[in-house]
């Protein structure tokens, strides 16, 4: 056991802190600088649309920036980890510090271990940040953008196109929104079938209100298929056991909810007999996305291992960056394959991670000179 610990651990806390701090300083510097530049460019592109809303002021621009920054941080964290790895290892290589480490008996994986531990901390922070902040900011920004950055918007509504089935009735609605304890369904349709599965009655309502455990349909039109009669009523009680949460689950957008909410929605949708492959894909992607930061020290290791005087440092940095970009392309490609149902959700989310993790390990073993 002691031999295994010596094999895996860095030779001293001083070396581990030195290389880990070198990596983290570059990571945070790149992340802050890149997000700041992209945020300025993004605000400049959206300012005209934001200020076009009635009553818009500079506070609207600040609100947009506040909601957009978490998305940029979430999107570019793995990319900044790759650049930080390349800069840190290239600098150590250029100043022959890696040569000294290897001369003292350190293997490549022991040199990279502090970077891996720092990446693990970034991964945990990235996942927590995404779950607690990014999902809420995304939901609010998408709703605000969809409504032309208007001020004083009504409670947010969720659009969906799925069906809810209860006994012999099919229920559909175009959107759901909540205000306190009140739930509203917009443009509700109820198709009641007979024993042969044929529609015997069609009920359409402009909206349905759930309050105090009871549904009420408003502005109702009822069509009886047998008699071809049409009746119109202002208000009708809706006797059903369907709870608002069932409609909420149908309207779930994975990017706007956390893992627990998405998992609950998947379980309830499965109970409804709904297809949940896309939801499962994004469930696994919520873990695989932040975990991609763990790969960056492996993919960027090619910049650190090799003799600097061989004159190939720039080439090694370019190769490391190419490996990183190839991973991002493969990740987006597999995500698209999962959305189209070509690849299973688990494979679509984790295959690029496993593939490029293997490539990164191979790079460490075959680039040492």
* DSSP secondary structure, 82-128, as one string: HHHHHHHHHHHHHTTHHHHHHHTT--HHHHHHHHHHHHHHHHHHHHH
Please state the rounded mean pLDDT for residues 210-216: 86
53-105 pLDDT per residue, tens: 888 888 999 999 999 999 999 999 999 999 999 888 888 877 777 777 777 77
pLDDT tens readout for residues 93-139: 777 777 777 777 777 777 788 888 999 999 999 999 999 999 999 98
Q: Which domains does the chain have, with CATH numbers?
A: 2-150+279-367 (no CATH), 161-242 (2.60.450.10)
* Interval 23-29 mean pLDDT: 94
The DSSP symbol for 130 reads I
Backbone angles phi, psi at 185, to 5 degrees: -110, 130
**Torsion angle, CA of 233/237/238/242, rounded to 10 degrees?**
150
- pLDDT for 45: 93
Tens digit of pLDDT for each residue in 245-288? 777 767 777 888 889 988 888 887 787 677 788 889 999 999 99
Q: Could you tell me the pLDDT band of residue 199, with boundaries at 50, 70 and 90?
A: confident
Q: Which residues partner with 214 through β-bridges?
A: 211
| 282 to 84, 157, 258, 340, 347: CA distances (angstroms) | 27, 21, 10, 13, 12
Residue 166: half-sphere exposure toward Cβ, Cα within 13 Å = 13
Would strands 157-159 and 214-224 be described as parallel, antiparallel, or unpaired?
unpaired
């Amino acid at each position: 056991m002691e031999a295994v610990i010596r094999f895996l651990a860095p030779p001293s806390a001083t070396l581990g802190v030195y290389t880990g701090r070198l990596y983290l300083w570059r990571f945070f510097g790149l992340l802050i600088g890149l997000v700041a530049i992209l945020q300025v460019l993004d605000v400049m592109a959206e300012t005209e649309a934001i200020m076009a809303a009635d009553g818009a002021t500079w506070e609207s621009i600040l609100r947009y920036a506040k909601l957009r920054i978490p998305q940029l941080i979430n999107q570019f964290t793995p990319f900044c980890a790759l650049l930080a790895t390349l800069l840190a290892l290239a600098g150590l290589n250029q100043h022959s510090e890696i040569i000294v480490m290897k001369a003292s008996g350190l293997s490549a994986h022991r040199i990279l271990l502090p970077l891996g531990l720092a990446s693990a901390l970034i991964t945990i922070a990235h996942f927590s940040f995404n779950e607690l902040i990014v999902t809420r900011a995304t939901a609010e920004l998408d709703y605000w953008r969809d409504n032309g950055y208007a001020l004083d918007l009504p409670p947010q509504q969720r659009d969906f196109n799925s069906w809810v089935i209860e006994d012999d009735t099919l229920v559909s609605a175009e959107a759901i929104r909540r205000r306190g304890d009140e739930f509203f369904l917009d443009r509700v349709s109820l198709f009641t079938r007979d024993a042969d599965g044929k529609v015997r009655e069609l009920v359409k309502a402009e909206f349905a209100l759930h309050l105090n455990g009871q549904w009420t349909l408003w502005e109702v039109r009822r069509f009886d298929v047998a008699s071809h009669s049409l009746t119109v009523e202002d208000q009708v009680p809706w006797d059903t056991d369907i709870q608002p949460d069932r409609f909420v689950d149908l309207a779930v957008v994975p990017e706007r909810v956390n893992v627990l909410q998405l998992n609950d929605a998947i379980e309830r949708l499965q109970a409804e007999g709904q297809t949940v492959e896309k939801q499962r894909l994004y469930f696994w992607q919520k873990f695989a996305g932040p975990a991609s930061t763990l790969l960056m020290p492996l993919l960027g290791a090619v910049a650190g291992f090799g003799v600097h005087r061989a004159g190939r440092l720039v080439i090694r940095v370019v190769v490391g960056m190419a490996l990183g970009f190839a991973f991002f392309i493969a990740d987006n490609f597999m995500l698209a394959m999962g959305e189209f149902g070509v690849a299973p959700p688990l494979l679509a989310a984790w295959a690029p991670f496993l593939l490029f993790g293997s490539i990164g390990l191979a790079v460490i073993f075959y680039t040492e000179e």
